[in-house]
């Protein structure tokens, strides 16, 4: 079990050290561990009885032992370490306690106070993708850019279910302060923090939630509102095709006078949606309407970090300054009673999300987190990674917005249609005007020497996306357009253009409103 924890420490430390280069990097041969690898941990014993750590990948390849780490202090008693046995593997010294339960590898064999573990995922071709919000593919940091926060959290780790994990508590306090709310709670995912928030708001059926018909909480969270909160959703189509307004919401409010319809108890907004920023003045107006009728407001802020980055850039503030981020986030979240902030989308932490609200609300939400099975006891490494990402990755978000604009401009010049405003790091495009289909484009991109991954019309640029990936994407579309004009047929058998007339009504609405995920 301890060996498993040691590997996890190494993985998280590597995940927090992201590449700062936008250029394509050659794959680096390093020790590669993935989360799935954790199920395949092996402890081996050398001839002199010392224990080391290795792991097997899904393809059976054996990686390890871990190298270039100093002995972790604080995992067990000082006496246990000092009296522990050790052996050597090459130039490295393997330590374990006298009871054999806790061990680590030291480059020098000297008992140390901290650990700087260097086990990282292979970097390289994974930069060539526009599909996800981040990838678990990082270059090793320099000595100056190591992540001692991960190690510190292991030394002081406690049980977060009881509020005893110092790293998690510190992250929650930081996020609460950044957002201007009284308290925050860490959980595993944005879906969980959304559903925990909604469930905590809902006291007794019958009740309903107003949301955009494209909203993630309604369409993409496995029916969680009905399943966990016994609530119905009232889905509204924005009259302006972009975002809900007071004029959309006010006529839809159910104030409990019609016994045939569940009364409105919560309004959920999403910012961004389809990469488009929700106008803050409209958010304020909706918030005033909600307070007038004593209806709660929740924000799905999975991508609120991108909104904050865009606002900071527009105001000429400094994304590296905590006080500037705090000013902007507090203003953005002021109209909301609660908000969910994803820590993996955008800022690229390995895992995690946070919900913010009043102390009373968060205390109640922790009951539901426990009931959902969402309490992570030793959450320190995850929290420390998220804390690192806020500090080191958030300042890079503005550059991803610029790269997305570059991508959109390139596609526009080729004749593709951009179907949603490019406010942040997402581009939605339609290749039909130049006679191409999304299926044929995806097939071509997949066949490139270094494949580029996309999710149909939805392109996402993140802080690890290289300029080369964007340029090669544009070049591939240009090449296919030229082939089409020359009479060549780039489509594969069975593929066809899909026009609005062939779409079902919902799909037509989705296209008109620039659907986001």
CA distance 203 to 196: 13
Binned at pLDDT 50, 70 and 90, residue 130 comes out as low
Domain with residue 437: its CATH number is 3.90.1150.10
Are 178 and 270 within one domain? Answer: yes
Are 355 and 410 within one domain? Answer: no
Beta strands in 329-454 (DSSP E): 338-342, 353-357, 417-418, 426-430
Binned at pLDDT 50, 70 and 90, residue 157 comes out as low
Are 213 and 334 within one domain? Answer: yes
Q: Is 383 part of a structural domain of the chain?
A: no
CA distance 95 to 51: 7
Instruction: Report residue 415: phi and psi, to 5°.
Output: 105, 0
Q: Supply the pLDDT for residue 117.
A: 29
Q: Is 254 part of a structural domain of the chain?
A: yes
pLDDT at residue 255 is higher than 50: yes
Nearest to 150 by CA among 350, 434, 382: 382
Q: Is 420 part of a structural domain of the chain?
A: yes
Q: 93 near 86, Cβ under 8 Å?
A: yes
**pLDDT tens-digit map of 261-299:** 999 999 999 999 999 999 999 999 999 999 999 999 999
CA distance 294 to 296: 7
Q: Average pLDDT in the 60-71 region? A: 33
What is the average pLDDT value for the chain, to the nearest integer? Answer: 74
Binned at pLDDT 50, 70 and 90, residue 393 comes out as very high
Are 98 and 219 within one domain? Answer: no
Q: Range with the lowest mean pLDDT among 109-123, 199-213, 348-362, 429-443?
A: 109-123
Q: Is 139 part of a structural domain of the chain?
A: no
Task: Provide the domain limits for residue 56.
Answer: 2-122
Q: Supply the pLDDT for residue 128.
A: 46
Q: Supply the pLDDT for residue 17.
A: 31
Nearest to 215 by CA among 291, 288, 266, 284: 266
pLDDT at residue 88 is higher than 50: no
Q: Is 381 part of a structural domain of the chain?
A: no
The residue among 62, 91, 122 that closes a domain is 122
Q: Supply the pLDDT for residue 158.
A: 72
Q: Supply the pLDDT for residue 6.
A: 26
Q: Average pLDDT in the 48-54 region? A: 38
CA distance 94 to 31: 17
**pLDDT tens-digit map of 138-154:** 333 444 444 444 444 44
Q: Is 239 part of a structural domain of the chain?
A: yes
Q: Range with the lowest mean pLDDT among 92-96, 233-237, 250-254, 342-346?
A: 92-96
Nearest to 138 by CA among 309, 450, 393, 406: 393
Q: Average pLDDT in the 237-262 region? A: 95
pLDDT at residue 191 is higher than 50: yes
CA distance 298 to 340: 8
Q: 183 near 172, Cβ under 8 Å?
A: yes
Q: Supply the pLDDT for residue 160.
A: 82
Q: Is 448 part of a structural domain of the chain?
A: yes
pLDDT at residue 82 is higher than 60: no
Binned at pLDDT 50, 70 and 90, residue 326 comes out as very high
Residue located via tokens 């871990």 = 66
Q: Is 133 part of a structural domain of the chain?
A: no
- Give me the DSSP letters along 63-87: E----S-PPPSSSS-HHHHHT--EE
Are 189 and 311 within one domain? Answer: yes
Q: Supply the pLDDT for residue 38.
A: 27
Are 46 and 172 within one domain? Answer: no
Residue located via tokens 């987190």 = 369
Run of H or E residues at 54: strand 51-56
Q: Of 49-58, 314-323, 344-353, where does the model show the most confidence?
A: 314-323
Q: Supply the pLDDT for residue 126.
A: 38
CA distance 244 to 236: 8
Q: What is the dihedral of CA 25, 400, 461, 490, to 10 degrees?
A: -80
Q: Supply the pLDDT for residue 490.
A: 59
Binned at pLDDT 50, 70 and 90, residue 318 comes out as very high
Q: Range with the lowest mean pLDDT among 114-123, 179-188, 283-292?
A: 114-123
**pLDDT tens-digit map of 327-386:** 999 999 999 999 999 999 989 999 999 999 999 999 999 999 999 999 988 888 899 999
Are 409 and 489 within one domain? Answer: yes
pLDDT at residue 457 is higher than 80: yes
Which is more confident, 269 or 99?
269
Q: Range with the lowest mean pLDDT among 72-86, 258-272, 314-328?
A: 72-86
Instruction: Count up the domains in the chain and report the number.
Output: 3
Q: 470 near 407, Cβ under 8 Å?
A: yes
- How far is Cα of residue 464 from the mean position of the Cα atoms in its chain? 13
The crossing angle, in degrees rounded to 10, of helices 467-485 and 397-414 is: 10
Are 369 and 411 within one domain? Answer: no
Are 47 and 171 within one domain? Answer: no
pLDDT at residue 110 is higher than 50: no
pTM of the model as a whole: 0.71
């Amino acid at each position: 079990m301890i060996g498993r924890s040691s590997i996890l420490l190494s993985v998280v430390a590597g995940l927090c050290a992201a590449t700062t280069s936008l250029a394509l990097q050659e794959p680096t041969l390093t020790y590669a561990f993935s989360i799935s690898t954790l199920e395949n941990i092996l402890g081996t014993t050398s001839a002199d009885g010392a224990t080391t750590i290795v792991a097997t990948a899904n393809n059976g390849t054996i990686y390890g032992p871990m190298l270039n780490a100093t002995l972790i202090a604080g995992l067990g008693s000082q006496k246990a370490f000092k009296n522990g046995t050790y052996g050597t593997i090459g130039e490295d010294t393997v330590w374990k306690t006298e009871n054999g339960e806790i061990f680590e590898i030291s480059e020098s064999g000297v008992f140390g106070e901290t650990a700087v573990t260097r086990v990282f995922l292979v970097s390289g071709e994974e930069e060539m993708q526009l599909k996800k919000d981040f990838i678990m593919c990082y270059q090793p940091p320099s000595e100056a850019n190591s992540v001692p926060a991960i190690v510190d959290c292991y030394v002081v780790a406690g049980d977060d279910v009881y509020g005893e994990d110092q790293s998690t508590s510190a992250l929650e306090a930081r996020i609460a302060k950044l957002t201007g709310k009284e308290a925050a709670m860490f959980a595993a995912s944005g879906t969980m923090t959304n559903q925990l928030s909604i469930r905590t708001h809902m006291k007794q059926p019958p009740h309903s939630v107003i949301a955009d018909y494209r909203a993630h909480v309604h369409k993409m969270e496995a029916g969680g509102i009905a399943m966990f909160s016994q609530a119905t959703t009232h889905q509204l189509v924005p009259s302006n095709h972009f975002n809900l307004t007071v004029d959309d919401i006010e006529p839809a409010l159910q104030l409990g006078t019609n016994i045939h319809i569940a009364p409105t108890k919560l309004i959920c907004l999403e910012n961004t949606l389809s990469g488009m920023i929700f106008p803050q003045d409209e958010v304020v107006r909706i918030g005033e309407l909600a307070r007038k009728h004593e209806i709660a407001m929740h924000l799905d802020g999975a991508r609120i970090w991108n909104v904050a980055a865009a606002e900071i850039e527009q105001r000429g503030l400094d994304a590296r300054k905590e006080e500037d981020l705090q000013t902007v986030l507090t203003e953005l979240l002021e109209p909301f009673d609660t908000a969910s902030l994803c820590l993996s989308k955008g800022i690229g932490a390995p895992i995690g999300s946070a919900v913010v609200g009043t102390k009373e609300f968060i205390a109640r939400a922790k009951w539901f987190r426990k009931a959902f099975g969402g309490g992570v006891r030793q959450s320190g490494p995850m929290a420390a990674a998220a804390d690192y990402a806020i500090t080191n990755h958030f300042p890079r978000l503005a550059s991803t917005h610029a790269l997305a604009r570059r991508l959109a401009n390139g596609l526009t010049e080729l004749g593709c249609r951009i179907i949603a405003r490019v406010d942040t790091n997402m581009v939605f495009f339609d290749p039909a005007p130049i006679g191409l289909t999304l299926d044929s484009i995806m097939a071509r991109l997949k066949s490139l020497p270094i494949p580029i991954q996309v999710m149909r019309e939805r392109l996402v640029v993140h802080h690890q996306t290289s300029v080369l990936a964007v340029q090669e994407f544009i070049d591939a579309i240009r090449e296919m357009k030229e082939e089409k004009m020359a009479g060549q047929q780039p489509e594969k058998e069975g593929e066809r253009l899909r026009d609005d007339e062939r779409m079902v009504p919902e799909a037509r609405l989705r296209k008109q409103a620039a659907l986001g995920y």
